Amino acid sequence: MLHSLGFCTVNNRPVKKYKGQTPDSSSHPSRPSFDEDAAALETAIQEAPRDHSTAKRHALIRDGYRCLITGRYDRAAEKKLDITPEELVAYGGLIATQCAHIIPIPASTHFDVNITRKPTPANIANPASGPIHVGLSMLGENTTTFKALSDN
């Protein structure tokens, strides 16, 4: 009986009622609240485009209406940008971009699509020498396939 009483006391001591007052909670939580995190995520996340044309339009805006592979302007650039025909010719003319929406945003941020940078004749003649081909070849892609596609 004494053994049972001692066993009961040892097991129940940690849950014994605290005799003092409960301290006030900290006014500065160590982590931001979940509501603040959710609000920040809602502003950061954009809904994915539901169709091909919307995805292409967003990608062209993101890339300055330029092809990431050749540096040439898309046909929509003539209407959307304040650019002269002479500048368009200097950049290699207009092309119809086909795969702008396939290249993800993080990949496109590593390549220079600055409007002031003109493609060299070597890049126009051999687009497989461009920076995106180097990145794709490091991922195991065959860049000769892209060269053949860009020649058409």
Ranges of H-type helices in the chain: 2-12, 34-44, 52-62, 77-80, 85-90, 105-108, 121-125, 131-138, 143-151
How would you label 10-23 residue by residue, b for 16+ Cβ within 10 Å and e otherwise? eeeeeeeeeeeeee
pTM surpassing 0.85? no
Residue 1 gets which letter from DSSP?
Answer: -
Query: Is the pLDDT at 76 greater than 80, yes or no?
Result: yes
Cα separation, 52 vs 132, in Å, equals 22
Rounded to 5 degrees, what angle do the CA atoms 10, 11, 12 make? 95
Q: What is the pLDDT of residues 99-144, one digit of tens each?
A: 766 766 555 444 444 444 455 545 444 544 555 556 666 666 555 5
Residue 45 has which token pair? 């996340």
Q: What is the pLDDT of residues 12-69, one digit of tens each?
A: 666 666 667 777 766 665 565 666 777 777 766 767 778 878 888 888 888 888 887 7
Cα separation, 133 vs 51, in Å, equals 27
